[in-house]
Structure 1
Amino acid sequence: MLEIKNVSVEFKNQKVLNNLNLSIEEGCILGILGRNGAGKTTLFESVYQSLPFSGNITWKNERLQRKQISYLETENYFYPYITGEEYLSYFSSKKENEIREIIGKFNLPLEKYVQYYSSGMKKKLALVGMLMLNKPINILDEPFNGVDFEGVHLLYDIIRQLKSENKVVIISSHIIETLFHTCDKIVLLQNGSIQTIYNKEDFSQLDTLRF
């Protein structure tokens, strides 16, 4: 289990996360909802150990380490003069056949420089790299942004595959319907803490929320 206990983050004397607590079971797909500035990305970066925070984050009762996490950020940076194939060569995978199948479905021009990719293609390339890391905890910050209709449905399949492998997946999205399709639970982040946890049978209550 991934456990986030009393996590607080402060910027310029203003608390962004305020004694946040959250427990996520293995094999759980958890959606994070919140308005802009609610602290979603700060929460992800705290879990990823990329900024200082107070509190504790543990995985299977031991201190969480960055090497246990794959993180797909909202905006992904690539060196412009690197091909898709060269980018993926930096990653290793224990499930090469599955990755090749995903690459084939995404139809990425791996021989081309990444600077000529659309934003959706860059998102797909970053996603493949993340999957190749094969980590137990996977964070996806707005993964559906800029992805076409076909790519959205491939993302659904990939997220379900991660669940079948008993991995933890944490997703944020402004498109509530994408969370309905993928998540086991959705939490509402407000004022730096988790206000409400919705199970699948409660998702209809989220229709009234606007983000």
Structure 2
Amino acid sequence: MVAGPTPRGKLTGRLGPVIVIDNLTKRYGKRTAVRGLTCTVRSGRVTGFLGPNGAGKSTTLRMILGLTTPTAGSATIDGIEFRRLSRGLRHVGALLDAGDVHGGYTAAAHLGALARSNRIPRTRVAQVLREVGLADAARRRVGAFSLGMRQRLGIAAALLGDPPVLLFDEPFNGLDPAGVRWVRELFRRLAGQGRTVFVSSHLMSELEHTVDHLVVIGRGELVADESLAAFSARFGEEAVTVRTPDVAALARVLAAEDATVTVREQVLTVTGLAAERIGELALGHGILLHEVTTRTASLEEAFMRLTADRVEYAAGEVLR
């Protein structure tokens, strides 16, 4: 297991800075990518950043980091815009694109250049490479790295300055199950040290076991800003999973009862009807059932329900 990044222990036992997003807006010509977004990302917890494709998540992260200039509003870290912070990696660490590294550099050379430009001790390079499990790959060229190794290198770069604020965009991409578990535990550990951890990911099954709080946006606007528990209580209604050889026939019967039916890989997920009523309807129409299971909707299902009318690009079969 990789140890948490506490070489100097500077944050353990106290809360760190917060990210304040105030009326943040970004327009590209006639298209508005982010519209009046206001929220606060607090320290001491892992905050998940969710939204459909095209919702404005990456644009928001880039504005926090000063890589994109807002049309209006502001994003500050303890009241200061990131671009005004000298030696930025000491204040904020970020992973936005694991592929954004010159393939000709070795892992150690890449991190060494970042350390020099931010006046970070060279000893940190070896430390963070050990922390992310890449010590044996320090002298290998990044161009030969797998996607999972690039993700680990990106996380190492984010940790390099031992910053109190960390931003991650799709950090689970390319990682094997052991790597995903390590990242999940790392985020929890960082938050436990009092750091501010802001994570954007499409892998909601992982976020569900990682985050304390959620910020959800759709089409550039704030949709929800609340704890994971509160979000789940509001949108995580019970669903019934049904397996049957007569998928199409049962879907039509249930849709006629005003249930919401989603069909995926020959399995029906039904909301709006209890399992007992589904069984009665199937029996009445002579439809064989192999399984009927009631469960509370996952974070992914709650998210899909909340953002159904805010998706730019959709696919799949949903019957009502």
TM-score, reference length from structure 2: 0.60
Matched, 1:128 2:156: yes
Which of 35, 57, 62 aligns to 2:75? It is 57
Q: What's the CA shift for 1:128? A: 0.8
Q: Does 1:88 align with 2:105?
A: no
Stretches of structure 2 lacking an aligned partner (at least 5 in a row): 1-17, 237-298, 305-310, 312-320
Kindly indicate whether residue 208 of structure 2 is the aligned counterpart of residue 180 of structure 1.
yes
Aligned-partner Cα distance in 1 for 2:141–2:130: 21
What does the per-residue CA deviation read over 1:53-104, in whole Å, with 9 as the maximum and x for residues that have no partner? 11122333x222242322201343222221112222232369948635414x
5 Å-filtered alignment, 1:109-120, equals 109-120=137-148
Query: Which of 133, 158, 161 is 2:186 aligned to?
Result: 158
Contact 2:213-2:226 within 8 A present in 1 as well:
yes
Partner Cα separation in structure 2 for residue 175 and residue 114 of structure 1? 25
In 1, Cα distance between equivalents of 2:104 and 2:222: 42
Q: 1:99 aligns with which of 128, 141, 145?
A: 128
C-alpha displacement of 1:41:
0.1
- Letter of the 1:71 partner, please give it: A
Q: Whose relative contact order is higher, 1 or 2, with alpha carbons under 8 Å and at least 6 apart?
A: 1
Whether the 8 Å CA contact 1:93–1:134 is kept in 2: the answer is no
Once residues 140 and 189 of structure 2 are traced to their aligned partners in structure 1, the CA distance between those partners, rounded to angstroms, is 28
**Relative to structure 1, is the Cα distance of residues 95 and 138 closer, same or farther in structure 2, using a 3 angstrom cutoff?**
farther
CA distance in 1, matches of 2:40, 2:123: 28
Please give the alpha-carbon distance, in whole angstroms, between the structure 2 residues aligned to 1:15 and 1:119.
32
Alignment length (residue pairs) = 209
Structure 1 residue 161, shift from structure 2 partner = 2.2
1:18 aligns with 2:35: yes
Q: Which stretch has the larger CA shift, 174-183 or 35-44?
A: 174-183
Q: For structure 1, which segment, 42-51 or 92-101, has the greater mean C-alpha deviation from structure 2 after superposition?
A: 92-101
> Does the 8 A contact of 2:147 with 2:174 survive in 1?
yes
* TM-score, normalised relative to structure 1: 0.89
- 1:126 Cα deviation from its structure 2 partner: 1.3
Q: 2:128 is matched by which residue type in structure 1?
A: I
* Identical aligned residues as a percent: 24
CA distance in 1, matches of 2:200, 2:137: 28
